[in-house]
Homo-oligomer: A and B are copies of this chain.
Amino acid sequence: MNKITILIHCKDKPNIIASVTNFVAKEGGNIVYLDQHVDREQDVFFMRLESEFVSDTFSTEDFKNAFKNILAEKFEMKWRIYSSKKKPRMALFISKYDHCLYDLLGRYNSGELNLEIPFIISNHNDLKSIADNFKIPFYHIPVSKETKGKAEEKQLALLKEYNIDFIVLARYMQIVSSKLINEYPNKIINIHHSFLPAFVGAKPYHSAYKRGVKIIGATSHYVTEELDAGPIIEQDVAHITHTYSIEDLIAKGRDLEKIVLANAVKLHTNRKVMVYNNKTVIFS
């Protein structure tokens, strides 16, 4: 059985849904999921559709071509089509914090995540033993002001060699360069340890403590050129009180970070996220 997921966005026009569902039916597909959204401010139509094909002769490539020629050009769609047969390949960038790493690898190990992790990159060697325990190749690529360019070349070479589809910065603690961002547009997922747009940048828990907020948060977003300003995928928060020290905020925040990041990774790999106008449409 073949199963494909179609993501579409284009200018809103009449009859898009009927046209697409008709097309899929004619190609022999049975639609098992359909959700759509219209951004009325921007007049943009978004759609996510899953379809199953039982025919032995079904080819994803042929379907893509037909879709492109018959539908996509007519409605001037931006579109992506994924086969469920290919798991997305994720590179994990880490530094010294282990909570998101343990959490993601624990989920990966138990089969909760629909993805492959060909390798882990870190600018420090501290967490190598965790990668070893989970039997995932670990590359130590130190980053300093002087070596940043060279380090990035090594990273890009690895990403290419392993056919990486997307990158997760699991508290990587380094700003990634434009070059990497351009190679992976809306494909680098970061976890920021605040409820964005509050407390952009370094040391958000210190800022939260100083401001005396009663709630802290974590935000997972796609990385763009502007720091901590990319499209938000997922956010969550926790109530705190005046009794929390900065260390308490950091500890509480770790629980938010790991769950928010894991949810963002799941949404991304299940093809449920579309980006438009620096915002996300999340199909649930």
Contact = CB atoms under 8 A, between A and B. Distances in A.
Interface in A217-272: 217, 231-237, 239, 241-243, 245, 251, 254-255, 259, 262
A239 B239 contact: yes
A112 interface: yes
A85 to B, nearest CB: 21
A36 B199 CA distance: 29
Interface string A188-228: 00000001111100000000000111110100000000000
A201 to B, nearest CB: 13
A153 interface: no
Given A255-B259, A279-B242, A25 B30 contact: no
Contact of A213 (B22, B24, B98, B235): B235
Stoichiometry (number of copies): 4
Interface stretch (A12-20, A64-72, A172-180): A12-20
B245 A112 contact: no
Chain A: interface size category: 35 or more
A182 interface: no
Contacts of A241: 282, 284
A24 B32 CA distance: 19
A145 interface: no
Contacts of A37: 242-243
Interface stretch (A75-83, A102-110, A115-123, A162-170): A102-110
A131 to B, nearest CB: 11
B17 A21 contact: yes
B215 A195 contact: yes
Contacts of A198: 195-198
A243 B282 CA distance: 9
Nearest to A229: B211
Nearest to A112: B251
A31 interface: yes
